[in-house]
Each structure stands twice: as C-alpha cells, then as structure tokens.
C-alpha cells in the first residue's frame, strides 16, 4: 500500500491517483473515476473532485493508496 501525505486540508481524488502514479494524466483520472473503477473506503466513487482529508483508502486496478494528513 502506497501512502500519500497531504500538506493542505484535503486532496481531490483525481489529484491523488495521479500523484500516486496510477494514471498518466488528469484526463485518464477523470475517465477511470467516472467509469466507476475507483473505490474510496470500499465504495465506488464517481466524483473526481471528491475531497480526501486523511484516513481514506483509495483502491484502483489492484493498487491501494492511503491518504494521511
């Protein structure tokens, strides 16, 4: 499991999967999120702008990211 530590109050879901290297670009992030391929805490999330504040687990394509503050 990869960990992303945020400096601000939150990171958006699309930014998080891009920062983790799970997608190449913001356009790719938008597509996989809107297609329902990304889970946040075990539930499908289709909002690219979903704010992650810390403690969330993001899953995509067999990879997991933990968001920490």
Distance CA 52, CA 66 (A): 10
Provide the 10 A C-beta neighbour count for residue 58.
24
> What's residue 40's pLDDT?
97
> What's residue 38's pLDDT?
97
Query: Is 28 strand, coil or helix?
Result: helix
pLDDT digits (tens, 9 = 90+) for 2-31: 999 999 999 999 999 999 999 999 999 999
User: In CATH, what number does 2-68 get?
Assistant: 3.10.290.10
pLDDT digits (tens, 9 = 90+) for 29-52: 999 999 999 999 999 999 999 999
Ordered by start, the domain boundaries in the chain are 2-68
Please answer whether residues 13 and 47 qualify as being in contact, where contact means their C-beta atoms are separated by less than 8 angstroms.
Answer: yes
**Per-residue DSSP letter, 1:** -
């Amino acid at each position: 499991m990869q960990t992303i530590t945020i400096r601000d109050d939150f990171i958006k879901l699309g930014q998080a999967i891009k920062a983790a290297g799970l997608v190449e670009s913001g356009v790719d992030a938008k597509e996989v999120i809107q297609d329902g391929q990304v889970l946040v805490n075990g539930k499908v999330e289709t909002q690219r702008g979903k704010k992650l504040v810390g403690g969330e687990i993001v899953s995509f394509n067999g990879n997991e990211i933990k968001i920490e503050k």
